[in-house]
Amino acid sequence: MAKRLSKRARQKLFIYEYEKSLFNISKACTEVGIERSTFYAWEKKDKLFKKELSQKVDRWGDLIENKMTTLALKGDSKLLMFLAKTKLKHRGYVEKTDELELKGSVQFIIKGVEDTYPKVEEEVKKEDDENKSE
């Protein structure tokens, strides 16, 4: 009968399988022979495991970011703009949205229902008056 791996050994094996599967929790759990609930319990209760997991994900993010930068610098203008907007916000490369301040009332005219709006407004006013009198 094969000796069962220690918790720490299973955690290290999980981290290896997790990275190998491109961070697919289900696949890594299956490969190690643990339930997803075990993974989540380790992640919640074991600081060392959580730290090692985080380091692997950060390392993967760094690799992706480096590849994106290489492609952007080779002429991928969309990727270059994406990187500028996400990494150079402090230099002003951000999506700007204009805020519109509305003052007063706004009327909506929807083709075919122009005569419906006044009726709805009257019904709402009538309901408000009824609620006030109760």
Q: 66-113, pLDDT tens digit by residue?
A: 999 999 889 888 888 888 888 888 887 777 665 666 666 655 555 554
Q: Mean per-residue pLDDT for 111-129?
A: 63
- Token pair of 64 as six digits: 């992706």
- Token pair of 34 as six digits: 């643990």
Q: Are 18 and 25 in contact (CB under 8 A)?
A: yes
Q: 7-34, pLDDT tens digit by residue?
A: 999 999 999 999 999 999 999 999 999 9
Nearest alpha-carbon partner for 23 in 48, 59, 47: 59
Q: 28-55, pLDDT tens digit by residue?
A: 999 999 999 999 999 999 999 999 999 9
Surface-to-core class of residue 93, CB atoms within 10 Å of its CB (0-12 exposed, 13-18 middle, 19+ buried): middle
Q: Is the pLDDT of residue 134 over 70?
A: no
Domain boundaries, the chain: 7-91
